[in-house]
Amino acid sequence: MTQIVIVLLMGLHTSTGGYEQTTEELIANLRSPIPKTRLEAARKLGERRQREAAEALARVVRTDARADVRREAARALGLIKDEATLPALLAALSDAHRDVRRAAILALVSFYIETNIEFITAERRGWHILNPFLSTYEATIVEPETKVDDRIIQGLLRVAQTDGDLSVRRAAVRALGVLRATHVVPQLGRLFMGYSALRVEILKTFMKLDDPRAGVYIIPLLNDSDADVRKSAVIAVGLLRVAEAVPKLLEVLERPRDEETARLALEALARLGDRAAEPIFLQNLTHPSPERRRFAAEGLARLGDTHYVERLSLARLRESDRSVRLALAFALYRLGRREYLEAIFQELDGGLHAQAAAYLLEVEPSDLYPLLRRGSARARRSVVEALGRIGSRDAIEHLTPLLRAEDPELVNAANLAIQRIERRAASPRTRPRRVGTPPKES
């Protein structure tokens, strides 16, 4: 009997030796005269994600005298996700304290996505450009066709336009990118006249939104006096494939302010694959810089001119740099030599994984089907992800068997890819992001 009592008493304590409070007690503690008690209650209620606490937490967000308590309550509401508390969080976007406003931004985004969104309020040091082909990018943006409450979008847009704290405005701009707020592209474009740091954030958000309509706002920034803005703009027009930017990019490449800007301009031109840049690609195919040779090969790949097959084949035989050899394999594939897809597939297990995975997005989907049945789990996951982005309904029958695979990550990747294809097929507004189809072999 004594042992039973001891066990029961131990069950009343947390692992840290503290009393395990009920939800009712924690809600009551939100009215405690002790600020630390209120703050801890808000934190624990958020961790429990119990909706019965939502109304009390919303009241704290609106009325508590302490900013740190209001901040913690806002975070908790983001975890609980009760739509009835949206008015309180939207009101918190105008809170007197910036930390509360930043917490409200995170909370509103958390209604739709939680993974890896802390970057929204992080202070970036130095120049950093998001790579849209990395898996971490996919985890920081909602899935296409996600229905986001327009009150949230409009609230975030207002903060981006008018908040008195630059860090809060940056956070709002980043949040709009995470929530795929493509319909506010014009409003964001009109914000470019502000601080250069905000212009960089808007450019990065444009990259996330993947909407070429942003091009008209980006092109004037290709010669911006701020180096970070200038480089971000060059990358953005390439990623968004803004064809109207080609003349300006050629000017940037011919009269670069520095070598990095020149390299970025060449990469952007390579993504666009415009005929006007053909002489530039040919000149750089033998450049001393491996990066320049790589982008030259990619540019020729996207031009689609099969007359360059022999020249690119000879270049690949002579090339010693692995990244350039991979780019040349991609170019040969795009120009009809489908056997070079194997060279791309092999690199999915190597140090050039990101580069090879990016090329898969420009492969004919039917050419990827046989690759689903062989290779490492990592390589197959990359193929699955590519099909999720570029595949049509035909790909589903090839992906379905992977739902019974032994590797759980492969199963989850296949499930996500099928869902993406189905959503895309059901929506006439979205199409697979493709750069083109390699020419047929003669």
**Per-residue pLDDT reduced to its tens digit, 23-81:** 999 999 999 999 999 999 999 999 999 899 999 999 999 999 999 999 999 999 999 99
Where are the chain's structural domains?
A: 1-80
13 phi and psi, to 5 degrees? Answer: -115, 150
The confidence score (pLDDT) of residue 18 equals 57
**Per-residue pLDDT reduced to its tens digit, 270-291:** 999 999 999 999 999 999 999 9
Cβ atoms of 222 and 245 closer than 8 Å: yes
Q: Which CATH class is domain 1-80?
A: mainly alpha
> CA gyration radius for the chain?
26
Q: What is the rounded CA–CA span in Å between residue 213 and residue 396?
A: 31
pLDDT of 2 over the 60 cut? no
The confidence score (pLDDT) of residue 17 equals 47
Average pLDDT value for residue range 104-133: 74
List beta partners, residue 13: 19
Mean pLDDT for the chain?
88
Give CA separation, 384 vs 131, 186, 399, 433, in Å.
19, 34, 7, 15
The confidence score (pLDDT) of residue 429 equals 57
Structure tokens, 420: 């993406």
The confidence score (pLDDT) of residue 394 equals 95
Average pLDDT value for residue range 84-106: 97
The confidence score (pLDDT) of residue 427 equals 76
* Pick from 68-77, 175-184, 248-257: least confident: 248-257
Average pLDDT value for residue range 15-30: 79
Average pLDDT value for residue range 106-135: 70
The confidence score (pLDDT) of residue 162 equals 94
pLDDT of 19 over the 50 cut? yes
**Per-residue pLDDT reduced to its tens digit, 331-369:** 999 999 999 999 999 999 988 999 999 999 999 999 999
Q: What is the pTM of this model?
A: 0.83
pLDDT of 5 over the 50 cut? no
The confidence score (pLDDT) of residue 138 equals 52
In which band, very low, low, confident or very high, does the pLDDT at 292 lie, cut at 50, 70 and 90? very high
* Pick from 124-128, 392-396, 419-423: least confident: 124-128
